[in-house]
A and B are shown apart, each in its own frame.
Chain A
Amino acid sequence: MVCLILVLAACGHHEDAHLSVPQKLKKEANQPVKYTVDVEDQLAGIKKVLVQLGDSLEDFYVPARTTQLKSFPCSNCHTDTGLKPTGKPEKAHWDVHLEHASIQTMECQTCHDVSNPEQLLSITGKAISLDHSYQLCGQCHSEQIKDWKGGAHGKRKAGWAPPRVVNTCVECHNPHKPAFEPRWPARLNTQSLKQDKE
């Protein structure tokens, strides 16, 4: 009897033991999770907007861009209609140099609406809000936008727990110069160096 129980116990154990973690997850973890933890307190003070991509699997958010821009709304300077600013125009946007794709592909007007700088333009000329600039990037960077939607590209705000608030593209990438700069590592382990030399 005891032997039988032991054998049964052993078999039961084995059936589960040979499954890898991903196999087990696929088999057992398919239900949405009811969380007992969230990061709402971490997100206090961040205005979030719902991501609009149409085919999103679940709702997630990006931090609003317009509330973060220093010179927004544009009408602060551009009091007249159109692009002609009041004040000293030669000082404005002086630091913007476009280093994003080749000049054949991209110029200012590829993304900016000349007639209304407070919004962006899609390739087909549809208006895109600055809060939803990811829609603009996603036109060319289709692989990246897919990964970003799923969670393989980009960074979460606050933490892993709900609600899911994700940095927009422009929070890590300067849209005018999106590549990351090379730099030196943040540290050098001198102890380890010493150990290696011995």
Chain B
Amino acid sequence: MKIFLHLIKDGLGAALIGGKRYHFWMGALTLLMLFGAFCYSVQLQEGLAVTGMSDRVSWGLYISNFTFLVGVAAAAVMLVLPTYVLKDTDFSRAVLIGEGLAVAALVMCLAFVVVDLGGPARAWHLIPVIGTFNWPNSMLAWDVLVLNGYLFINITIPMYILYTRYRGKTPDKRIYIPGVLISVFWAVGIHMVTAFLYAGLPARPFWNNALLGPRFLASAFAAGPALIILVLEVIRKYTEYSIADTTIRKISMVVTVAAQINLIMLFSELFKEFYFPTHHSSSAVYLYFGLDGKNALTPWVYTALVLNIVGTGILTLNSLRKNFKWLSLACILLFIGIWIDKGMGLIIPGFIPGPWGKVVEYAPSWVEIGVTLGVWAMGCFVFTVLVKAAIPIETGKMRYKGS
């Protein structure tokens, strides 16, 4: 226990040390978090009326980001699986980063759910045993379970590994491998459950399709590792933590395959919606062409489409993928493309047109954008602190010195 406290102290100490750039980064994040907190206080005071949401479009930017980030969190498994199970050492240096990313993404997910609640003070009703938990009926109850479970797993495994390393020992495989195996299935689980949250609603034909779950996985396994590649590039540029080229190459293969599958599924969806458009295609029509002269999402979705196609194209070409500049560009394109596609491009058109055909558009308010930025800043902050603390332990610079 004492050693653990020391680990926390040393870790936080490590997070406080850094260059000018680092302090500027953390300072900016703190400012954004404060701004987000202010916006949230406005929302708490006035109610969700200060957001752009309405009875017509009752989920907006918050739930869009939540959906996207569940995917990012799930993607950590792409690194975990080969490292621990297939004993592919190439990934081992990236895996802690991936898990840190998962933790940060999950923290953001939970934060986005909380800020979306009308009565956050009553959120304790969601706690099993103390509240009433509508399990197994409600997919949201499932989501609460799997997200928190995944967060727990992704905190304990790296914590155990770091803790043993900190003490100068080697982590015992018999202890962490079962946990890793669980987390592999769990990662797929969190994303499928989140997809089912939407796919299970016959009221919203745009979501109510069997492809939603698989597409969630494909897009997650493109966007998540794409982000990891970008993060690894930053880390190896600015810290002494070395990451081999082959690691990034391998991850880029994961991104490539996932992005290709994602595109195939997207075209399959588009075919179904537009070959013979029915009443159930109205949302897709709104998204891609606009309805009743309202087309706020159209430019977004075409941007996403172009970004996805170009990004996947770059990755598919061997010569470009092997060039780190092109690779980074492709990763940025894909990340943004999927963020639009899976967030705004999925959640909002699900509500348009409404059950009785009403087309009311949605645009986030400044309060909503502020809170969203704040939550993202919090995620980045958490991730930076985790990575800052983990790197010296991994590199062996930080060890328990005894009392």
User: Which residues of A line the B interface, CB within 8 A?
Assistant: 195-196, 198
- Residues of chain B within 8 A of A196, CB atoms compared: 358, 360
Q: Digit string of B29-54 for contact with A (CB within 8 Å is 1, else 0)?
A: 00000000000000000000000001
Cβ–Cβ < 8 Å partners of B360 in chain A: 195-196, 198
**Minimal beta-carbon separation of A198 from chain B (angstroms):** 7
User: B43 to chain A: closest CB distance in Å?
Assistant: 20
A15–B165 CA distance with the chains assembled, in angstroms: 60
- The 7 sampled A-B contact pairs (Cβ below 8 Å) are A195-B54, A195-B56, A195-B360, A196-B358, A196-B360, A198-B360, A198-B361
How many A-B residue pairs lie within 8 Å, measured between CB atoms? Answer: 7
- Give residues 324-378 of B contacting A (CB, 8 Å): 358, 360-361
Question: Please, which residues of chain A bring their CB within 8 A of the CB of B54?
Answer: 195
Please measure, in the bound complex, the distance between the C-alpha atom of A198 and the C-alpha atom of B296, giving whole angstroms. Answer: 11
Determine how close the nearest CB of chain A comes to the CB of B203; give it in whole angstroms.
Answer: 19
Can you list the 7 inter-chain pairs with the closest CB atoms, starting with the nearest? Answer: A195-B360, A195-B54, A198-B361, A196-B360, A195-B56, A198-B360, A196-B358
Q: Interface residues of B toward A: which range?
A: under 10
Chain B interface residues (CB < 8 Å from chain A) = 54, 56, 358, 360-361
Complex contacts, A198 vs chain B, CB 8 Å: 360-361
A198, B358: Cα distance in complex, Å = 13
How far does the alpha carbon of A89 sit from the alpha carbon of B54 in the complex, in Å? 64
CA distance A196 to B56 in the complex (A): 11
CB distance from A145 to the nearest CB of B (A): 35
A98 to chain B, nearest CB (A): 43
Taken together as a complex, chains A and B put the C-alpha atoms of A195 and B358 apart, in Å, by: 11
CA separation between A111 and B56, bound complex, in Å? 54
Whole-angstrom distance between the alpha carbons of A198 and B360 in the complex?
8
User: In whole angstroms, how far apart are the Cα atoms of A198 and B292 in the complex?
Assistant: 12
Min Cβ gap A196→B in Å is 7
CB neighbours (8 Å) of B361 from chain A are 198
Of all chain B residues, the one with the shortest Cβ separation from A198 is: B361
Q: A195 to chain B: which residues have CB within 8 Å?
A: 54, 56, 360
Alpha-carbon separation in the docked complex, A191 to B245 (Å): 58
Nearest A residue to B56, CB-CB: A195
Chain A nearest CB: distance from B353 CB in Å?
Answer: 12
Give chain A residues whose Cβ lies under 8 Å from the Cβ of B358. Answer: 196
Instruction: Name B54's closest neighbour in chain A (CB-CB).
Output: A195
A65 to chain B, nearest CB (A): 42
Distance in angstroms between the alpha carbons of A195 and B361 in the assembled complex: 9
Distance, CA A67 to CA B94, complexed state (A): 91
CB nearest to B359 among chain A residues: A196
Distance from A195 Cβ to chain B, minimum over Cβ atoms (Å): 6
Kindly list chain A residues whose C-beta atoms are within 8 Å of the C-beta of B56: 195
User: Separation in Å of the A191 CB from the closest CB of chain B?
Assistant: 10
Q: Across the two chains, which residue of chain B brings its CB closest to A196?
A: B360
Residue in chain A with minimal CB distance to B360:
A195
For A195, give the chain B residue with the smallest CB separation.
B360
The minimal Cβ–Cβ distance linking B355 to chain A, given in whole angstroms, is: 15
Instruction: Give the shortest distance, in Å, between A131 (CB) and chain B (any CB).
Output: 45
Bound together, the chains give a CA A196 to CA B358 distance in angstroms of 9
CA distance A195 to B360 in the complex (A): 7
The distance in angstroms between the C-alpha atoms of A155 and B54, with both chains bound, is 36
In the bound complex, what is the Cα–Cα distance between A196 and B360 (angstroms)? 6
A14 to chain B, nearest CB (A): 17
In the complex, what's the smallest C-beta–C-beta distance from A13 to chain B, in angstroms?
Answer: 14
Complex CA–CA separation, A196 to B294 (angstroms): 11
Residue of A nearest to B361 (CB): A198
CB distance from B248 to the nearest CB of A (A): 46
Residue of A nearest to B362 (CB): A198
Minimum Cβ distance to chain A for residue B358 (Å)? 8
> What CA separation (Å) do A196 and B361 show in the bound complex?
9
Q: State A195–B54 Cα separation when bound (angstroms).
A: 9
Q: Which residue of A lies closest to B363 (CB)?
A: A198
Min C-beta distance of A9 to chain B, whole Å: 16
CA distance A139 to B196 in the complex (A): 60
B87: shortest Cβ distance to chain A, in Å?
39
Q: Shortest Cβ distance from B263 into chain A, in angstroms?
A: 34
Residue of A at shortest CB range from B294?
A: A198
